[in-house]
Amino acid sequence: MQDPSSNGLYLARPCQYLTARDLARCNPDFWLDRRYAPEVVAAIDQSINEGKRRSGAQTVTLVGYSGGGALAVLVAARRNDVRRI
pLDDT tens for each residue of 48-75: 999 999 999 999 999 988 889 999 999 9
pLDDT tens sequence across 19-56: 999 989 988 888 889 999 999 999 999 999 999 999 99
Q: How far is the CA of 47 from the CAs of 11, 27, 36, 42, in angstroms?
A: 8, 19, 15, 9
In this structure, how many other beta carbons lie within 10 angstroms of the beta carbon of residue 23?
A: 13
Banded pLDDT at 1 (limits 50, 70, 90): low
CA 24 from centre of chain? 21
Instruction: Give pTM, 2 decimals.
Output: 0.83
DSSP 77: T
